[in-house]
Amino acid sequence: MKIVVLAGGLSPEREVSLTSGSLIANALIENGHRVLLLDVYEGIRALPEEIDSLFCSKPIPVHRVSDRVPDLDAIRTASGNGDALIGANVLALCAAADRVFIALHGSMGENGQLQATLDTHGISYTGSGYVGSLLAMDKEISKQLFVAAGVPTPTWVTLKVRSGEREIPDAIGLPCVVKPCDCGSSVGVSIVETAEELASALDEAARWCDRVIVEKKIVGRELTVGILHGETLPAVEIIPKEGFYDYRNKYQGTTEEVCPAQISESVAKEAARLTRLGFDALHLGEYARFDFLLDAEERLWCLEANSLPGMTPTSLLPMAAAAAGISYRALCESIVKGDRN
């Protein structure tokens, strides 16, 4: 197959995506496919006469994630693309492929905009469709759907911080967790203990999104459960060496992951059940990952869904797949050949 792997983009998770994309591309090349790793934001301005020559079968360099969120303004300036989210000739190159593997994280790669655009051009792609992508990316909507489906999620309030909304109800109180409504990779997330910390946390989250989620802090073990073609994978426990599972701890090897998680059979079954409930409630397709907290009374609380889980060396879906006997190459092959709902 000829496969375009779409990565990069104008998103705080750009570097994570480029790392995922380069690894996916190499796995697919090893599987015998011809692959083009394409930055959806940069595009390719000058195409050769033979577009097929851009699809390669030789390994490509692997991108490495730094410990800092990328400077998007500097990227805009350097590229000259401004706020255009899809770069030159991207859609033409996607149309020339047999399949597009979406390796984007955050922004229009996960909120349904890209999926809707590819749909209108009749281009086949991996992962969830535009509806599921939108529902999962918007934390306010996804939490509302979790409640309706019977998936426990921490009590929350949504604030439009840029419009002056900053008060949190007593039902949440302190400590609490503050996060942008539509970012991933823990970008803009803060654990708040005091009123003074709350003010700065709201400002930080509002840098990334006008709507800010403030939710009751649940103390417990961090678990995540992947789902692939309707089948749940072994749960992973996440144990940061310090602090919480933020952007740095996610990608700099400062977190211990245990897979399968050392949890009781009843908790494992309940986590799988809630994952399937959430997957259906959000109309997701092919694969996803759900994040939970397990409190002292062994109650599970769903924090969020990830419609395009990371595929970096430290990412959790590949780890869970490996525990189920699915190699990284086999995982990529399964996704690229899967049927999207």
Active-site residue, selected from the candidate residues 87, 127, 285, 310: 310
Does 291 qualify as catalytic in the annotation? Answer: yes
Active-site residue, selected from the candidate residues 26, 306, 307, 315: 306
Active-site residue, selected from the candidate residues 15, 110, 291, 333: 291
Q: Which residues contact 320 (CB under 8 A, 6 or more apart)?
A: 224, 225, 226, 233, 234, 235, 236, 259
Bridging pattern class, strands 99-102 and 176-180: unpaired
Does 13 qualify as catalytic in the annotation? Answer: yes
Active-site residue, selected from the candidate residues 8, 9, 11, 13: 13
Does 125 qualify as catalytic in the annotation? Answer: no
Rounded to the nearest 5°, which phi and psi values hold at 69? -65, 135
Beta carbons of 302 and 152 less than 8 angstroms apart: yes
Does 31 qualify as catalytic in the annotation? Answer: no
Instruction: Please compute Rg for the chain using Cα positions.
Output: 20
Tell me the C-alpha distance between 71 and 327, whole Å: 34
Beta carbons of 106 and 209 less than 8 angstroms apart: no
Active-site residue, selected from the candidate residues 304, 307, 315, 328: 304
Active-site residue, selected from the candidate residues 81, 142, 185, 307: 185
Does 270 qualify as catalytic in the annotation? Answer: no
Residue (of 16, 65, 12, 61) closest to 37 by Cα position: 61
Does 306 qualify as catalytic in the annotation? Answer: yes
Does 150 qualify as catalytic in the annotation? Answer: no
Does 304 qualify as catalytic in the annotation? Answer: yes
Helix 113-120 to helix 130-137 angle (10° resolution) is 170
Rounded to the nearest 5°, which phi and psi values hold at 305? -115, 150
Six-digit token string for 69? 């969120």
Active-site residue, selected from the candidate residues 41, 245, 251, 328: 251
Please give the positions annotated as active site: 13, 185, 251, 289, 291, 304, 306, 310
